[in-house]
Structure 1
Amino acid sequence: MTFWYEGPMASFDTETTGVDVEHDRIVTAALVLQDTADGPVRRREWVADPGLPIPAGATEVHGLTDEWARRNGRPPRVVVEEVARALAETARAGLPLVIMNAPYDLTLLDRELRRHRGTSLAQYAASAPLLVLDPRVLDKHLDRYRKGRRTLTDLCAHYGVDLGTAHDAAADATAALGLVRAIGARFGSTLGALTPAELHLRQAVWHAAQARGLQQWFTRSGSPELVDTSWPLRRQVDQAA
């Protein structure tokens, strides 16, 4: 018997101008596909000229500069359309879509589509919903009492997954895909009988519970920060600029 975590999957990641999903922009994006756990990985990559300066702090993380983006990038209006269509294709093919911290990448893509195309990610996925697998949500639910951080780097180290070149969209997407396979194998007795569609629904519930717990911690600490319970896409609080 082949379990879902052993079969075909896709994985998506972006590198951006910052961490504000309402206002920052996509610079690079990657979609990787793999038919089996040991099979070759196929990559599709995009580069956009974001039209805004890439802050020095972002460049320190991913190494992408304004000059590089202008030289290699295409108009964001074209890029986000192609990315959205590619993700919709994975949904129509029934492929689980791995995204580390999905509310970040998917929300930023949604806001870019609204900004440049006057449409939403939901419209592209109208014929078949995205079946998202988020290793961050899965790990926090399945191993909730483990101490330590849960970044992609930390999770790859914990599960023995090769990260490759961190903060490269294709490398991060590939690592996240391997991470979900590793989590699935380790917790097969819990996850193996579930379908990706069932897991998608459960992750929304798990993420909401995790977000409420984090919100309580912020409140006790006196922090004004608010945590969005929505998954895999954040609510649109106002029109993206």
Structure 2
Amino acid sequence: MTWHRKPLCGFDIESTGVDPETDRIVTVCVVRYGGGAVTVGRSWLADPGVEIPEGATGIHGVTTAHAREVGRPAAAVVEEVTTALADAVTGGLPIVAMNAQFDLTMLDREARRHGVVPLMDRVSPYVLDPRVLDRKVDRYRKGGRTLTDLCGHYVVQLDNAHDAQADAIAACAVTWKIANRYRALQRSELGELHGAQIEWAREQNAGLRDYFARTEGKEAWAAGVRLEWPLIPAWTAS
């Protein structure tokens, strides 16, 4: 049985902003998807300990007041999410995350911030990123590559974009659709496919960096494009 016929572990974070080094988790979901079973999962709402900017609230709908009133301590959420992902990996599931570089890096930095053992220090997951996969198999297709765009292209239902659970499920569904359409992907072993995505993501991000560098008005953005995938290594003082 090919990997796309087996269960997948979907993962998505909604946050206070777009910098995984400094921004904080607000909502997060981990789901078990596929393999002929009903999709199940768990969602968390964290009190990030900082103000949630209006722009972020406009995307995911969570205000600072609501997070403070209802959200659980960030350290507890990070520990539980990391444990849930580690358990899934130990159980043989790959982690599926749209733009995995962002979500896994943010989870890593939150773990370090709160004294939680990071995911990559517990397990060595295989990761599937529908954005990286789609850019590889259909490189020259015009249009956007957001999760909403991919759901439209691969005919996946997404009723509540930027809800962590909806996005985690949709990322799994898109990944399944890509593998089902491009059979060379499903014939690859997960370890092989994970390794290939490291190289594909590096090439894709290098191309984006070069585009910014040569585009008037966007030159400064080039320095912010990182080539590592699925995790930007944490800087530690020697």
What is the TM-score with the length of structure 2 in the denominator?
0.94
d(CA) in 2 for partners of 1:154 and 1:15?
Answer: 18
Equivalent positions of 1:214-225 (< 5 A) are: 214-222=208-216, 223-225=219-221
1:235 Cα offset (Å): 2.8
Contact 1:32 1:170 in 2 (8 A): yes
Contact 1:84 1:124 in 2 (8 A): no
Match of 2:137 in 1: 142
Match of 2:120 in 1: 122
1:118 Cα offset (Å): 5.6
1:123 Cα offset (Å): 1.5
Among candidates 192, 211, 223, match of residue 198 of structure 1: 192
Equivalent positions of 1:20-35 (< 5 A) are: 20-35=19-34
Alignment RMSD (CA, Å): 1.4
Aligned residue for 1:174, secondary structure, equals helix
1:22 Cα offset (Å): 0.9
Contact 2:75 2:116 in 1 (8 A): no
Match of 1:162 in 2: 157
Equivalent positions of 1:1-241 (< 5 A) are: 2-36=1-35, 39-117=37-115, 119-125=117-123, 129-188=124-183, 190-222=184-216, 223-225=219-221, 226=223, 227-237=225-235
Q: Which runs of 5+ in 1 are unaligned?
A: none
Contact 1:135 1:180 in 2 (8 A): yes
Contact 1:15 1:29 in 2 (8 A): yes
1:164 Cα offset (Å): 2.1
Contact 1:99 1:176 in 2 (8 A): yes
d(CA) in 1 for partners of 2:189 and 2:70?
Answer: 40
Contact 1:13 1:172 in 2 (8 A): yes
What is the TM-score with the length of structure 1 in the denominator?
0.93
Q: Counterpart amino acid of 2:98?
A: M
1:66 Cα offset (Å): 1.2
Q: Counterpart amino acid of 1:124?
A: R
Encode CA deviations 1:98-127: one digit per residue, 9 max, x unaligned: 0000010000000000101164332122xx
1:34 Cα offset (Å): 2.1
Aligned residue for 1:44, secondary structure, equals strand
1:74 Cα offset (Å): 0.9
1:7 Cα offset (Å): 1.4
Distance 1:149 1:237, change over 3 A: farther
Encode CA deviations 1:198-222: one digit per residue, 9 max, x unaligned: 1111000000011111111111114
The number of equivalent residue pairs is: 233
Q: Which runs of 5+ in 2 are unaligned?
A: none
Same amino acid, percent of matched pairs: 48
Contact 1:164 1:175 in 2 (8 A): no
